[in-house]
Chains A and B, each alone.
Chain A
């Protein structure tokens, strides 16, 4: 799904629906491909601002963004949010990622529904993915 469609869905969702969608995302985060596991186990690409051990690998090839991530199942909120970003941005162009709202978390209504104290880790992951897309696109 494109990020605009996801925003619209979340915008219309109440608290329980929001949790259900995030849970669904959490359960459907694609497994980290084998070739990245060594880097993860060595501690590379961890989003250090996030309390949960989140690992994100971003690549831009032929004008398309690829995102692979690993988040423990015991942290379903972060895992769900990362999976949402993978869904929205994997296969998108770097420009599409760049034009997504800076305040995506507010656009999704997560701050209001889940409580503002839980938002820092999520925005750290979001900013990290976007800056890596930017860097990776600039290299190509």
Chain B
């Protein structure tokens, strides 16, 4: 059976249990539910919230370089640290935080396969103690925007041979739903998808227990069934760019695509954009 192209970015719960206290390792929990960390978390884990920590509170963007440096320094994460992400919902938000860390050029990022649910299911210990690491002097040397797509990049993709992957549910893709079921606040005025985009719902990439499917299964889904090739210039999108950061992770690290970007504006931008072309079956 073929291996992932970058198996080194994934670690198991056993590995985390063993190495969570090691020097140079920082475990980060990132969840959709802002209170889950407070209910209990892996000993020593740092909470990073996708919304209140990583997003700018005024304009629709991420925090800037200075704020990211401040956040990392306060949390006690240094530039050299290996950060291990885990979270709820199949690591959905963990992958999002991972992607944002990569935007800010953080070098060593890992994901704990299976996320919070697997850790809980294995009856591993949790604590409510919040760690207090000494502050660091974190420096962002440069942003890596090669992993981020903006709407103008998407416009250029339409009609080209470069693939667009829509990772929302099929009902959102077809325009039957304007939003993800049960998330109507993040709707758009128009339904459908960006012309030419293929639909591969994000959760297709994970097994029942929340761990990623095997390399062979992933290849068969993304490459055989949907015709992606590792050299392709791929843009993935969803509704606000969180589910697509999960697919971005799968394509970039598990399947080894060199040029894959996440369009974080996603459908809540495109479906509200005046005169933006839309395809609806």
A residues contacting B by CB (< 8 A) are 15, 19-20, 22-23, 26, 48-51, 73-78, 80, 113-115, 117-121
Contacts and interface: CB of A to CB of B under 8 A. Distances in A.
Contacts of B39: 23, 26, 73, 76
Nearest to B32: A118
Interface string B9-41: 000000000000000000000000111101100
Given A49-B184, A117-B185, A74 B52 contact: no
A23 B183 contact: no
B1 interface: no
Contact of B51 (A19, A74, A76, A118): A118
14 contacts: A19-B35, A20-B38, A26-B35, A48-B182, A49-B182, A51-B183, A74-B36, A74-B88, A77-B33, A80-B35, A114-B52, A115-B55, A117-B186, A120-B184
A76 B36 contact: yes
Given A76-B38, A76-B39, A120 B183 contact: yes
Interface string B74-95: 0000000000000010000000
A85 B240 CA distance: 30
Contact of B52 (A15, A78, A120): A15
Contacts of A22: 35
Contacts of A121: 182
Contacts of A26: 35, 39
A121 B240 CA distance: 17
A76 B184 contact: no
B52 A75 contact: no
A62 to B, nearest CB: 35
Contact of A75 (B33, B183, B186): B33
Contacts of B36: 74, 76
Nearest to A123: B185
B201 to A, nearest CB: 16
Contact of A51 (B34, B35, B55, B182): B182
Contacts of A48: 182
Contacts of B33: 74-78
A80 B39 CA distance: 11
Contacts of A15: 52
Contact of B185 (A23, A73, A76, A119): A119
Contacts of A115: 34, 49, 51-52, 55
Given A50-B182, A114-B34, A117-B186, 9 more contacts: A19-B35, A26-B35, A74-B33, A76-B33, A76-B38, A77-B33, A77-B35, A80-B35, A115-B34
A118 B51 CA distance: 9
Nearest to B128: A23
A73 B38 CA distance: 12
A95 to B, nearest CB: 30
B35 A113 contact: no
Nearest to A117: B51
B238 to A, nearest CB: 14
A101 to B, nearest CB: 19
B276 to A, nearest CB: 22
A123 to B, nearest CB: 9
